[in-house]
């Protein structure tokens, strides 16, 4: 039993989040609040309550009953709710106002611009014609995205007016796999930021953002922005250092504290530019890649700062880890995913995970987003070794099934 008790609201999917729940359980006794009884979560929690996460009053009642030392979620759809509950019961947490600022992509753009940080031309449009008018001010190419969805769902590049009208329609109607739509009306239009894309996961303690995991992002399926993989750490450079300094200043400007964040940025010819700040653990197992590469456990740090304990902030080793998301090359009725050889024959292969039942129909953007069949995680002593091992695994992945 730990001396600290932590309430976790929402547990996510086992394939992508069990590692985080397990790490947090090593730092505090976990009490899970969710809308169903736990299954795979049971080994990692000491107690649970079945509560509707949409019912803030019920969550407040449950949290008061548990009387925890801290409160957190890594579910994108619940970060605002958790901030409201924390404020209501008096648990230290970033304010609901700061969380809302990060959730509303246009509000964050405006706030950063006012602070003189990461200037990006943008506008919000509610109709196709408003989008066309805004494009006259922003210029092509530009990017359309829902105001409040994650995972690059509904994010589309447009190079001309015809493409813009199509991109606007996709962004305006985009939904996550569970049917969740953006809670904010309108579509954000931004100038297209030329350059490679990265992310940095920070733990924020006493108002100071400590960057723990910097990841290089692999994107695909243009004009969409599906995340096909990540490499940790990103190759060091002065430009990366400048971007990390910008991210830390942005955290201070927004007013974040006592949580972990996942910030995406690009290195453009005009310097680093922030794409968005997510007030939760990074997805796609990026924190796990960080642990495999450096030994620093971001998920454990999330639990520590939530209950008022200082986080780990220094690397313990220097290796490299990568994740490859398994996608079909076209719309598919999937029967399974396999490697051409036995898994033991692939050096550095940490795990190959698949999670769709046989017979699942999978479609690529714009008909379907985050159309993943599974993932493979690979490690190496250095970047060259890791990438060679990653590419060998990726080349031997086979998707069995029937094209649609």
**What is the CATH number for 76?**
3.40.50.20
Q: Domain check: are 128 and 74 in the same one?
A: no
- pLDDT value at residue 210: 96
**Residue 382 domain-assigned?**
yes
Q: Domain check: are 73 and 126 in the same one?
A: no
Cα-Cα-Cα-Cα dihedral of 191, 194, 195, 201, to 10°?
A: 10
Q: Domain check: are 19 and 79 in the same one?
A: yes
Q: Domain check: are 76 and 126 in the same one?
A: no
Residue the block writes with tokens 């493979």: 376
**Residue 372 domain-assigned?**
yes
Per-residue pLDDT of the chain (404 residues; tens, 9 = 90+): 678 999 999 999 999 999 999 999 999 999 999 999 999 999 999 999 999 999 999 999 999 999 999 999 999 999 999 999 999 999 999 999 999 999 998 999 999 999 999 999 999 999 999 999 999 999 999 999 998 777 788 999 999 999 999 999 999 998 776 666 667 788 999 999 999 999 999 999 999 999 999 999 999 999 999 999 999 999 999 999 999 999 999 999 999 999 999 999 999 999 999 999 999 999 999 999 999 999 999 999 999 999 999 998 878 889 999 999 999 999 999 999 999 999 999 999 999 999 999 999 999 999 988 889 999 999 999 999 999 999 999 999 999 999 99
State phi, psi for 285 to the nearest 5 degrees: 60, 25
Proportion of the chain in helix, strand, coil states, percent, rounded to 5: 35, 30, 35
- The last residue of one of the domains, among 171, 191, 211, is 191
**Residue 302 domain-assigned?**
no
**Residue 309 domain-assigned?**
no
Does residue 195 contact residue 175 with C-beta atoms inside 8 Å? no
Does residue 243 contact residue 37 with C-beta atoms inside 8 Å? no
* pTM metric for this prediction: 0.94
**Residue 80 domain-assigned?**
yes
Number of helices and strands in the chain (H, E): 11, 19
Tell me which residue range forms the domain holding 163.
121-191
Burial 47-61 (b: 16+ CB within 10 A, else e): ebbebebeeeebbbe
- pLDDT value at residue 321: 99
Q: Which helix (H) or strand (E) holds 9?
A: strand 5-9
User: CA distances (Å), 322 to each of 84, 263, 273, 276, 287, in order?
Assistant: 36, 18, 24, 22, 11
When divided into structural domains, the chain yields a total of: 3
Residue the block writes with tokens 């690059």: 152
């Amino acid at each position: 039993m730990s001396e600290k008790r932590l309430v976790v609201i929402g547990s996510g999917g086992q394939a992508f989040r069990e590692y985080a729940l397990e790490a947090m359980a090593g730092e505090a006794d976990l009490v899970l609040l969710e809308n169903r009884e736990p299954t795979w979560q049971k080994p990692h929690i000491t107690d649970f309550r079945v509560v509707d996460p949409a019912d803030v009053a019920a969550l407040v009642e449950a949290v008061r009953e548990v009387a925890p030392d801290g409160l957190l979620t890594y579910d994108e759809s619940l970060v605002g709710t958790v901030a409201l509950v924390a404020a209501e019961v008096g648990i230290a947490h970033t304010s609901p106002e700061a969380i809302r600022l990060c959730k509303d992509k246009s509000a964050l753009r405006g706030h950063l611009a006012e602070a003189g940080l990461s200037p990006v031309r943008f506008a919000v449009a509610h109709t196709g014609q408003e989008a066309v008018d805004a494009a006259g001010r922003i210029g092509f190419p530009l990017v359309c995205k829902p105001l409040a969805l994650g995972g690059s769902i509904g994010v589309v590049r447009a190079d001309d007016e015809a493409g813009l009208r199509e991109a606007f329609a996709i962004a305006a109607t985009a939904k996550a796999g569970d049917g969740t739509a953006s809670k904010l009306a309108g579509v954000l239009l931004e100038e297209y930021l030329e350059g490679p894309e990265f992310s940095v996961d920070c733990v924020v303690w006493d108002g100071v953002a400590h960057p723990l995991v910097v990841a290089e992002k692999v994107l695909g399926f243009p004009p969409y922005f599906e995340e096909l993989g990540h490499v940790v750490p990103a190759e060091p450079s002065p430009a990366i250092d400048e971007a990390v300094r910008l991210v830390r200043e942005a955290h201070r400007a927004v007013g974040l504290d006592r949580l972990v964040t996942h910030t995406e940025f690009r290195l453009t010819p005009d310097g680093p530019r922030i794409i968005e700040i997510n007030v939760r653990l990074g997805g796609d197992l990026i924190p796990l890649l960080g642990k495999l590469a450096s030994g620093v456990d971001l998920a454990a740090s999330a639990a520590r700062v939530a209950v008022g304990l200082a986080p780990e902030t220094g690397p313990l080793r220097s290796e490299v880890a990568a994740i490859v998301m398994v996608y079909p090359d076209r719309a598919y009725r999937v029967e399974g995913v396999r490697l051409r050889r036995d898994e033991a024959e692939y050096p550095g292969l940490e795990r190959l995970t698949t999670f769709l039942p046989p017979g699942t129909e999978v479609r690529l953007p714009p008909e379907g987003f985050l159309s993943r069949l599974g993932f493979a995680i690979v490690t190496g002593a250095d970047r060259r070794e890791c990438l060679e091992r990653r590419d060998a695994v990726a080349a031997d992945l086979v998707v069995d099934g029937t094209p649609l």
